[in-house]
Amino acid sequence: MERSPLVDLNPQETMALIQIANAGVRAGLVSESDLSRLHLLGLVEQRGMSMGLTAMGIQTIARLKQG
């Protein structure tokens, strides 16, 4: 599997990505600006009424867990 480039996230975006990874996030629980940027970076995608991680988002979460 090819490694995705590292994505530079601010602390709020990092927390939003972790929230989405843990349980998905319904509209209104994460700021629109954070969701928009995560979507623009290709880390999250719309899944019905919630957001979910893309393959690149999953890789980013794995790297965050590795420290």
Q: Is pLDDT at 54 greater than 70 in this prediction?
A: yes
CA distances from 62 to 27, 31, 49, 66 (A): 24, 23, 25, 6
As a whole number of angstroms, the distance between CA 29 and CA 35 comes to 10
Write down the pLDDT at residue 31: 87
Q: Is pLDDT at 4 greater than 80 in this prediction?
A: no
50 three-class SS? strand
pLDDT tier at 1, thresholds 50, 70, 90: very low
- pLDDT tens digits along 34-50: 989 999 999 999 888 77
Give domain limits for the chain: 11-66
Is 7 or 3 the better-scoring residue by pLDDT? Answer: 7
As a whole number of angstroms, the distance between CA 1 and CA 18 comes to 22
SS3 content of the chain, % helix, strand, coil (to 5): 50, 15, 35
Looking at domain 11-66, which CATH architecture does it have? Orthogonal Bundle (1.10)
Query: In the chain, what percentage of residues exceed pLDDT 90?
Result: 48
